[in-house]
Amino acid sequence: MNRRVRRRIKLAGYFAAGAFVLQLGQACTIVNSVATAGIGSSGFLIDGNGFFLGLFNVCGQENILPVSADGIPGDLLNAEDDLMFGCPARQVVLGGDGGG
């Protein structure tokens, strides 16, 4: 084979590989969407106790939102270990009359 034919075969191989990768990406996207929708609707990903796959607590430690006696919220505590956005937070009022 001469040099020109080998170059054309290599170029055709590059085009074929590129087309395969493009089609593979679309196929993976479709499979991922269908699998996630099918599994997520059955409650398999996050169970009734709030655990991801039954192993990891998606909200981590209980989030605490300190609130001053005037009703001004402070910074959210324990939010660093959350795997999910929008976990519930318990409000704790700081100060006040001492419970009496």
- The per-residue pLDDT for 43 is 56
On whether the pTM is more than 0.85, the answer is no
Based on the fold, state whether residues 25 and 56 are members of the same structural domain: no
Domain end (from 44, 60, 78): 44
How many domains are there within the chain?
Answer: 2
Based on the fold, state whether residues 40 and 76 are members of the same structural domain: no
Which tens digit of pLDDT belongs to each residue from 65-76? 888 888 888 887
Which tens digit of pLDDT belongs to each residue from 2-58? 888 999 999 999 999 999 988 888 888 888 887 776 655 555 666 676 677 767 777
pLDDT of 88 > 50? The answer is yes
Based on the fold, state whether residues 37 and 13 are members of the same structural domain: yes
Identity at 43, one-letter amino acid code: G
Range of the domain at 3: 1-44
Residues 76 and 65: beta-carbon distance below 8 Å: yes
